[in-house]
């Protein structure tokens, strides 16, 4: 009987020591960037307004949960002319379908008006 208690106590001691220890006051926040544009910067300030950490939307931060924080999301600049094809795809994703058709119709009518003005003027 004493052997069973010793084995049970030994097993409990080993399992208690093998549990991974994590700091109780830390919280891990993982961001994921689902945008097609450049990643957004995230500035993390503490309660006094002091900058704690600067990360982006694809980063992971570990913060002490006993303090309060302020997260400031800084959107990135949009450079439409650095990659025009990607900008057109981004525009196509954001706008409704009827707007895409409307822009296409306006472009065709405008092209026809330019062609008529240049080549189809009245001749005397």
pLDDT for residue 106:
92
pLDDT for residue 113:
93
pLDDT tens for each residue of 66-97: 888 998 888 766 666 666 666 667 666 667 77
User: How far, rounded to the nearest angstrom, does the alpha carbon of residue 109 sit from its chain's CA centroid?
Assistant: 39
- 38 compared with 88, residue with greater pLDDT: 88
Structure tokens at 91: 């525009």
* Residue closest to 73 by CA, chosen among 122, 35, 114: 35
Place 110 in a pLDDT band, splitting at 50, 70 and 90. very high
Sorted by sequence, the CB contacts under 8 Å of residue 69 that are 6+ apart come out as 44, 45, 46, 47, 52, 63
Average pLDDT value for residue range 57-74? 85
| Percent of the chain residues past pLDDT 90, beyond the cut | 10
| Percent of the chain residues past pLDDT 70, beyond the cut | 56
């Amino acid at each position: 009987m004493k052997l069973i208690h010793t084995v049970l106590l030994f097993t409990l001691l080993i399992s208690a020591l093998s549990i991974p220890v994590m700091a109780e006051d830390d919280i891990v926040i993982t961001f994921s960037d689902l945008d097609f544009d450049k990643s957004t910067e995230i500035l993390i300030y503490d309660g006094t307004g002091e900058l704690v950490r600067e990360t982006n939307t694809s980063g992971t931060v570990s913060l002490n949960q006993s303090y309060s924080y302020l997260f400031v999301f800084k959107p990135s600049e949009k450079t439409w002319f650095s990659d025009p094809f990607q900008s057109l795809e981004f525009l196509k994703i954001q706008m409704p379908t009827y707007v895409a058709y409307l822009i296409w119709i306006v472009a065709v009518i405008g092209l026809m008006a330019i062609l008529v003005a240049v080549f189809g003027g009245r001749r005397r």
